[in-house]
Amino acid sequence: MIFIIAEHRTCKLQDITFQMLAKGRALADKTASALVAVVLEDGSQSYEHILSSYADSILKVRDKCLSNFNSEIYQEVLCGLISKYKPLLTLIGHTSYGIEMASSLAVDLGFTFVSDCVDLDVKNHRVYATRQIYGGKVNSLISLVGENCIATIRPNVFKGAEKEGLHGIIIESPFSIEKTTRRKRFIELATTPTGDLDITQADKIVSIGRGIKKEEDVKIIADMAESIGAVLACSRAIVDKGWLPVERQVGSSGRTVNAKLYIAIGISGASQHLAGMSSCETIVAVNEDPYAPILSIAHYAIIDDLYKVVPLLKDKLCSKRR
């Protein structure tokens, strides 16, 4: 049995939930086991009906205490459910929720724990996790000891699951949540200020690197991105120069993106940057260095001076939209 802990916020299931469902389905099929989505809620939303299209069954716990995330309460409930069903693997998003709760949950259960995974596999009933180390320069393959494991999954390393036309069984699991005094309480949800951009949600991204010679040249690429409805992002070199804010940075020290189209302009492709965008569906690289590391993962490459290529590329892309 593979457990997926659904994450929801502001009355919406988060993308990481569907990304874990996709990986969970692959692992469930490989091990001939059931894929189970676990959702904790207060009953105001019908998340279970959405999840039933993706999972074989949905375990639902409903209580007013679950209206907002509280790691103490979530951990109490999940300990009970996981102890009862004993899944081979429990997947939790490596988000603010998972980072706060998952390791403590594993300790309470006595389960093996691994965090920030970029891949998972099961062979001969043993779970193997892939993590990035040394700033994303090396992938480390870890063999997990124990019959039950908990792993947190880095957002945007897997594509979101597609509806399978399933009608998963919804099981409402009664759970008595102790109304004791807790160390933590929910106060408010602090969100990104209006007007700031979340590049992780973009379908099309144009990203720039140290190949951009002057700050005023950023506008050239920004205009190109706008002309095709893409978001402007960058490598760390651009952030370090102060030309774009850190919220636009792609990489292991920035954001991990999973866009349908990623155009990298003047980016050589350090391992830290590749760690944040290698799962994009279509990668186009513009770089005058034929040995740039990013060319090893690009689906299409233009090896030439970006200042010659960008105006031509913009015209071609815009003509396709007309």
Which domains are delineated in the chain? 2-172 (3.40.50.620), 199-321 (3.40.50.1220)
Burial string for 180-217 (b: 16+ CB within 10 Å, else e) reads eeeeeeeeeeeeeeeeeeebbebebbbbbbbbbeeeeb
Cα distances (angstroms) measured from residue 91 to each of 43, 49, 198: 23, 20, 24
In tens, the pLDDT along 274-305 reads: 988 988 999 999 999 999 999 999 999 999 99
Radius of gyration of the chain (CA): 22
In tens, the pLDDT along 97-142 reads: 999 999 999 999 999 999 999 999 999 889 999 998 877 778 899 9
One-letter identity of residue 105 = L
One-letter identity of residue 193 = P
- What pLDDT does residue 139 have? 86
Average pLDDT of every residue of the chain: 89
Per-residue confidence band for 162, with pLDDT thresholds at 50, 70 and 90: confident
> What does the H/E/C string look like for 94-147?
CCHHHHHHHHHHHHHHCCEEEEEECEEEEECCEEEEEEEECCCCEEEEEECCCC
Q: Which of 133-147, 199-213, 253-267, 274-288 has the lowest mean pLDDT?
A: 133-147
How far apart are the C-alpha atoms of 242 and 262, rounded to whole Å? 22
Q: Which of 62-71, 128-137, 164-173, 174-183 has the lowest mean pLDDT?
A: 174-183
Q: How far is CA 142 from the centre of its chain?
A: 20
